[in-house]
Structure 1
Amino acid sequence: MNESFLIPVIYQRKEYEFKARFERWGYTHRIAVLIDEITFTFDPDEEGGYRALVHPKSAISADPPFAALLNAVAEKLAGLSS
């Protein structure tokens, strides 16, 4: 069962709302988040946070400002699950 929701994130003093989808994966889950027409998958990590999975061919994967946005989304997701 996949559940959709909106995730509000404050990044660089602006508030954004991204479409997100909770996806069950066997005994765990993933959260797919749509950012700028690209879907990023966030997996739970061992420390109770989330890590973003970025496709290696993505041109934005090495862009530090965009990486900071993904980090802000991951922190928000970790806060929702606690």
Structure 2
Amino acid sequence: MSELEIPVTWKGKDLSFPARLQQTGYTHRILVDVNGVEVALEPDEEKNYRAILVDPDHPDAKKLDAGLIAAIVEVVESVVR
């Protein structure tokens, strides 16, 4: 697995999230640690990324901001395309 950092500007703050690229067969997913909660970014048929909580029962999972996740996905899509 490849280690990387995803830089995001969110609400006027520069943030960085550690991530790992995981390749399986003909596809891949990016596992991002968002404030202690692991989020998997997987490409769909149109090459857009969808975010999936790896552990939806994590105590902090409900605290994640959907806008922040969307900003992370936007950064990933801008690099991949």
Same fold (TM over 0.5): yes
Equivalent position of 1:74 in the other structure:
73
Q: 2:75 is aligned with what amino acid?
A: K
- In 2, the alpha carbon distance for the partners of 1:15 and 1:49 equals 24
Runs of 4+ in 1 over 3 A off after TM superposition: 58-63
**Structure 1 residue 19 and structure 2 residue 9: aligned?**
no
TM-score between both structures, scaled by the size of structure 1:
0.84
Provide the aligned C-alpha RMSD in A.
Answer: 1.7
SS across alignment from 2:39? strand
Unaligned 5+ residue runs, structure 1?
Answer: none
Cα deviation code 1:33-72 (max 9, x no counterpart): 0011111100012232211002443456566x71111010
Q: 1:9 is aligned with what amino acid?
A: V
- In 1, the alpha carbon distance for the partners of 2:66 and 2:61 equals 7
SS across alignment from 2:65? helix
Q: Percent identity?
A: 32
Equivalent position of 2:42 in the other structure:
43
Equivalent position of 2:7 in the other structure:
8
Equivalent position of 2:57 in the other structure:
57
Q: What is the aligned residue count?
A: 80
- In 1, the alpha carbon distance for the partners of 2:19 and 2:79 equals 13
TM-score between both structures, scaled by the size of structure 2:
0.85
Q: Which moved more, 1:50-59 or 1:32-41?
A: 50-59
